[in-house]
A and B are shown apart, each in its own frame.
Chain A
Amino acid sequence: MANRSEDRRLWLLLGLLAALSLSMFLIPAFVIRPFRHQSESALALAIAVKRIAPALSLAALAGMLALGLRLWRSSSRVLRTGIVVALVLAAASAVMVRQNYFEWLFHPITAAGFVSADDARLSDKEMVMAVRIGTEARAYPIVQMAYHHILNDTVAGVPIAVTY
């Protein structure tokens, strides 16, 4: 009997850790949706979760693994399936909190290439973001920046972030 109620507590803990692990991924993913309103408090929560998610999701997974092993022997087939499913979800969550899926949508520029004005295949009417420092001038076509959004560049020795 004592064993049973102990088991029940362990199952409850396993369930809570699984929920915690999933929420590490789901809360920020839900709050930071494109074309939706983000309130200041929701955004602050999403960012706070994202900051602790890498460590916490791993800790949760480790805890769940220990609980799963402990409960495995006394569990029926159905319950063992439950343990496996919970572990797989927690592992998936631990992987996802390490992914920057915004960069799946909009690939970053890892190595920027530049051409001279004469070699650029741009029509005269295309809009560019232009910057000049000293005698060095740069043009960043807006159609490219509207996709990549960020470029870390250095012009005349000045490190700049081109953002659009």
Chain B
Amino acid sequence: MWKRTARGRELHFYLAGINNQNFLMRDRETGSWWQQVTGRAIAGELAGSALELMPNDELTFALWKSETPQGHGLVLAPVSGHEKDYDKKWEEEVAKYPVPLTFPGQGLKDRDVILGVEIGGQARAFPLAKVRGESPVEDKIGGVPVALVTGPDGESVRVFRSQLNGLDIELYRDAQNDGKSNGQSDGQRPEWRLVDSQGNTWNFAGCATSGPAADQCLEKINFLKDYWFDWKNYNPRTTVYSH
């Protein structure tokens, strides 16, 4: 997701092609060509410009609703006439096709879904399956402590800088509820929480709900959910998380 302004100009994008399985877009204003995954213009008048990232989440609808105050959220409606084009099994369908690039040797298959985090020029891929299984995953990228957390719905993931007032903190699953959903599909359950060694409890928004840090929030870190081959293509020096 990007802010669609470049060099002080508002732009409107449209789909214009594909480059190694990652789409190309053009803007109506200048006709420049942009790579979707990097937000960079690769040809045309605006070549060399970069769009600013718009921080966003991928959440289950239930979790989004639970975090959105009544009356403040809008949901994109299906475009009429295209309901049957919305294929709920699109991920399985796409997986049947060949990949345009392959990067063996780092223990991942080309279409493995990873969460890519880049801090200070250092890129690291976290296999999604591992993050779901081991949440919270604690790591350091370029000296910055991060925590990858799977939410109470068992699906949604967020990444936080696990640092409070300049000091590293370590997040744990709460032994009482194991930091996991009990299998109910009612989204955010009030008892879901993480704890740290300083007596704080944390919710999935990354804010302390009780303890000495109550009402303080951790800094959210943007990440990209991507196929391994695509992430590796644009981050050739990426490492892979493996603890």
Contacts and interface: CB of A to CB of B under 8 A. Distances in A.
A37 B20 contact: yes
A106 B10 CA distance: 24
B2 to A, nearest CB: 5
Interface stretch (A17-25, A78-86, A89-97, A154-162): A154-162
A147 B87 contact: yes
Interface size range of chain B in the complex:
35 or more
Contacts of B62: 124-125
Nearest to B97: A35
B168 interface: no
Contact of B73 (A109, A113, A117): A117
How would you classify the secondary structure of chain A's contact residues: helix, strand, loop or mixed? mixed
B83 to A, nearest CB: 9
Contact of B61 (A38, A122, A159): A122
Contacts of B72: 135-137
A77 to B, nearest CB: 42
Interface in A116-138: 116-117, 119-120, 122-132, 135-138
Interface residues of A, number: 64
Interface stretch (B74-82, B113-121, B122-130): B74-82
Given A37-B100, A159-B3, A161-B2, A115 B75 contact: yes
Contacts of A130: 56-59, 64
Contact of B74 (A28, A122, A124, A139): A139
Given A38-B100, A149-B23, A137 B13 contact: no
A70 interface: no
B44 A129 contact: no
Contacts of B79: 107, 109, 112-113, 144, 148
B242 interface: no
Contact of B25 (A43, A116, A117, A163): A163
Nearest to B18: A34
Contacts, number: 207
Nearest to B85: A147
A156 to B, nearest CB: 10
Contact of A114 (B20, B76, B86): B76
B177 interface: no
Contacts of A138: 73-76
Nearest to A161: B4
A59 interface: no
B172 to A, nearest CB: 26
B85 A102 contact: no
Contacts of B11: 159, 161
A13 interface: no
B100 A128 contact: no
A125 B100 contact: no
Contacts of B44: 51
A160 B51 CA distance: 10
B65 interface: yes
A150 B13 contact: yes
A107 to B, nearest CB: 6
Given A51-B44, A124-B187, A128-B59, A143 B86 contact: yes
A116 B61 contact: no
Contacts of B58: 127-130, 142
B214 interface: no
A161 to B, nearest CB: 4
Interface of A: 28, 32-38, 43-44, 46-48, 51, 100, 102-103, 106-109, 112-117, 119-120, 122-132, 135-152, 158-163
Interface of B: 1-5, 10-21, 23-25, 31, 33, 36, 42-44, 51, 54-62, 64-65, 68-79, 82, 85-88, 90, 97-101, 153, 155, 185-187
